[in-house]
């Protein structure tokens, strides 16, 4: 089955700096790659996703890149703000399993003012 590895497990940056979180997946049939943000004590919520027919996607300060050949994808947050502090999860899905997501281990991002 699918296995998703996520790095780093913790990341601390200064406000205004950029943050990058990386994930690798094992199943070459995976074709949908979302990122979820989970604030302390809250539920995970989708912030951005990318499908395998696209190499990059941006939404304001966040962007995701996908390298299908290498089977890895990354989340980029620019101009970080204290409210970006949270745990971020990457996930992968095959597309024919009704939305079944396999998640990475999570990255705890801390943005220091």
Partner 1 sequence: DARVTQTPRDKVTEMGQEVTMRCQPILGHNTVFWYRQTMMQGLELLAYFRNRAPLDDSGMPKDRFSAEMPDATLATLKIQPSEPRDSAVYFCASGPGQVDGELFFGEGSRLTVL
| Site residues for partner 1 per CB under 8 A | 31-32, 34, 42-46, 49, 51, 89, 93, 95-106
Nearer to partner 1, 77 or 90 (CB): 90
CA distance 49 to 17: 22
Q: Tell me the CA distances in angstroms from 42 to 36, 37, 45, 86, 98, one per residue in order.
A: 12, 9, 9, 10, 24
Q: Tell me the closest approach of the beta carbon of residue 106 to partner 1, in angstroms.
A: 5
Nearer to partner 1, 69 or 96 (CB): 96
Label residue 36 exposed, middle or buried (CB < 10 Å: 0-12, 13-18, 19+).
Answer: buried
Q: Tell me the closest approach of the beta carbon of residue 103 to partner 1, in angstroms.
A: 4
Nearer to partner 1, 77 or 102 (CB): 102
């Amino acid at each position: 089955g699918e296995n998703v590895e996520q790095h780093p497990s913790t990341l601390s940056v200064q406000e205004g700096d950029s943050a990058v979180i990386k994930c690798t997946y094992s199943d070459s049939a995976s074709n949908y790659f979302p990122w979820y943000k989970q604030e302390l004590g809250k539920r995970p919520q989708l912030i951005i996703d990318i499908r395998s027919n696209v190499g990059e996607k941006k939404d304001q300060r966040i962007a995701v890149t996908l390298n299908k050949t290498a089977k890895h994808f990354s989340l980029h947050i620019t101009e970080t703000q204290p409210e970006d502090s949270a745990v971020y999860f990457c996930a992968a899905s095959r597309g024919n399993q009704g939305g079944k997501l396999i998640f990475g281990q999570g990255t705890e991002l801390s943005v220091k003012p």
